């Protein structure tokens, strides 16, 4: 019932940390450029892939969503850089010491960092995916993706699930990169690890000669599991169901965030 509490309401520490992190993100040009790069790269490559795709006959077996979202192969690298740099720049510039003096509760700082990164990445991912989907929607019907060939319409519930899944996938990749960068504290090593995790699993899966092992690698691999949620045809033959695929990515992200939080809490900055 104290009067002072109403007169000078001091914001909750979490709100303060969020505000501080948002100011950092907003006032540096790098993140904005990176996220613009995510959109440009994803849409440009998706448009080229859609322009090169041809469905000459019925049952040609081409997934229009995967064609449209080809740009995500590159876009996710830019998203990963954004996630890595959110923390990596703090360490490389020595800013981390100042940040932790300002917000001594390290997990609060970590949460604020992750939360503030999530919003712009989510928006950029949504724009990138929407742009790619629009390009595919405009281009693909002219390249044989017509009702005659079994593509009734390119906007169905399945297509919306694929698009939403792709947006969530990109956001999860940014958070995964943030967690790994916090754990290793070096931008270059962190981005090498993240991109290695992303791109090596599908290559290894395609090169091992044991079919069972290959399928298992596709189930646990980040990129291949993330591709499952973007599939719109042949869903029954996928190594995982679409939402299972996204759950695998979410598990990886949760693991990386936990690792980062653990390292941050129990290690000198």
Partner 1 sequence: MTTAPVTPYRSQAAAGRESFWHLVHAEWTKFRTVRGWMITMIVAIMAVTAFVFLATNVSSSCSGSACPAPPAGPGGEPVTDAFYFAHQPLTGNGTITVQLTSLTGQVAVGPSQTVPGLQPWSKAGIIIKQNTSQGSAYAAMMVTGSHGVRMQWDYVNDTPGLTGSMSASSPRWLRLVRTGDTITGYDSADGTHWTLAGTATLPGLTSIVQAGLFAAAPSNGNTATATGVFRHIGLSWTATRWTGTNVGGSGPNGVPQPGTLRQSADAITVTGSGDITPLAGDGSVLSLQRALAGTPIGLIPLIVVGAMFITTEYRRGLIRVSLTASPNRGRLLAAKAVMIATVSFVTGLIAATLAVAVGARTLARTGVPLWPVPALTLARMLVGTAALLAVAAVLALAIGTVLRRSAAAVAAAIVVIFVPYLLALVPPLVGRGVLARGGFAGGGLSLIAREWLLRITPAAGFSAQQVVPRFSQVADAFYSPNWGYYPLAPWAGFAVECAWAAAALALAFYLLRRRDA
Rounded Cα–Cα distance for residues 126 and 100 (Å): 32
Assign residue 159 a region (left: φ > 0; alpha: ψ between -120 and 50; beta: otherwise).
alpha
The only residue of 123, 189, 254, 263 in contact with partner 1, by rule CB under 8 A = 189
Find out whether 177 and 83 touch, Cβ atoms under 8 Å. yes
Verify binding: residue 215, partner 1, rule CB under 8 A.
yes
Shortest separation between residue 214's beta carbon and partner 1, angstroms? 5
Q: Site for partner 1 (CB under 8 A): which residue of 11, 142, 196, 255? A: 196
Binding partner 1 (rule: CB under 8 A), the pick from 27, 29, 210, 266 is 210
**Chosen residue from 20, 164, 200, 220 binding partner 1 by CB under 8 A:** 200
CA distance 230 to 136: 14
Judged by CB under 8 A, the stretch of 94-102, 153-161, 233-241, 258-266 that binds partner 1 is 233-241
Query: Is residue 148 a contact partner of residue 52, using CB atoms and an 8 Å limit?
Result: no
Task: Determine which residue in the list 205, 240, 246, 264 makes contact with partner 1, applying CB under 8 A.
Answer: 205
Question: How many binding residues for partner 1 (CB under 8 A)?
Answer: 54
Task: Report which of 227, 249, 239, 253 is spatially closest to residue 72, judged by C-alpha positions.
Answer: 227
Is 256 a binder of partner 1 (CB under 8 A)?
no
Check binding of 70 to partner 1 (CB under 8 A): yes
Q: How many CA atoms lie within 13 A of 82 on its CB side?
A: 34
Contact between 95 and partner 1 by CB under 8 A: the answer reads: no
Q: What are phi and psi of 209, to 5 degrees?
A: -90, -15
142 binds partner 1 (CB under 8 A): no
Residue 188 interacts with partner 1 (CB under 8 A): yes or no:
yes
Binding window for partner 1 (CB under 8 A); candidates: 102-110, 126-134, 146-154, 195-203 = 195-203
Measure CA 209 to chain center. 30
Contact assessment for residue 60 and residue 145, using Cβ atoms and an 8 Å cutoff: no
Residue 46: which region, alpha, beta or left (left: phi > 0; alpha: psi -120 to 50)?
A: alpha
Binding site for partner 1 (CB under 8 A): 49, 52-54, 56, 60-63, 65-67, 70, 73-74, 77-78, 80-81, 84-85, 88, 92, 186-192, 195-196, 199-200, 202-215, 218, 224, 231, 233-234, 237
């Amino acid at each position: 019932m104290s009067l002072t509490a109403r007169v000078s309401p001091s914001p909750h520490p979490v709100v303060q940390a969020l505000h501080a992190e948002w100011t950092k993100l907003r006032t540096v040009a790098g993140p904005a450029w990176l996220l613009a790069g995510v959109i440009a790269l994803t849409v440009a490559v998706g448009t080229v892939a859609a322009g090169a795709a041809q469905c000459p006959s019925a049952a040609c077996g081409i997934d229009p969503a995967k064609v449209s979202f080809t740009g995500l192969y590159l876009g996710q690298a830019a998203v990963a850089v954004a996630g890595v740099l959110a923390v990596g720049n703090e360490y490389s510039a020595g800013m981390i010491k100042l940040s932790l003096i300002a917000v001594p509760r390290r997990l609060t700082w970590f949460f604020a960092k992750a939360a503030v990164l999530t919003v712009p990445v989510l928006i950029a991912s949504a724009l990138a995916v929407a742009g790619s989907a629009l390009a595919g929607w405009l281009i693909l019907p002219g390249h044989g993706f017509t009702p005659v060939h079994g593509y009734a319409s390119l906007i169905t519930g399945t297509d919306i699930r694929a698009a939403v899944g792709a947006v969530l996938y990109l956001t999860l990749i940014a958070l995964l990169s943030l967690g790994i960068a916090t754990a290793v504290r070096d931008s270059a090593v962190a981005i090498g690890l993240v991109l290695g995790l992303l791109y090596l699993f599908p290559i290894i899966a395609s090169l091992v000669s044991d079919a069972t092992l290959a399928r298992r690698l596709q189930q646990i691999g980040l990129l291949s599991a993330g591709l499952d949620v973007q599939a719109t045809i042949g869903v029954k033959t996928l190594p995982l169901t679409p939402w299972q695929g996204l759950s695998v990515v979410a598990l990886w992200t949760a693991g990386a965030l936990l690792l980062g939080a653990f390292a941050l809490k129990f290690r000198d900055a």
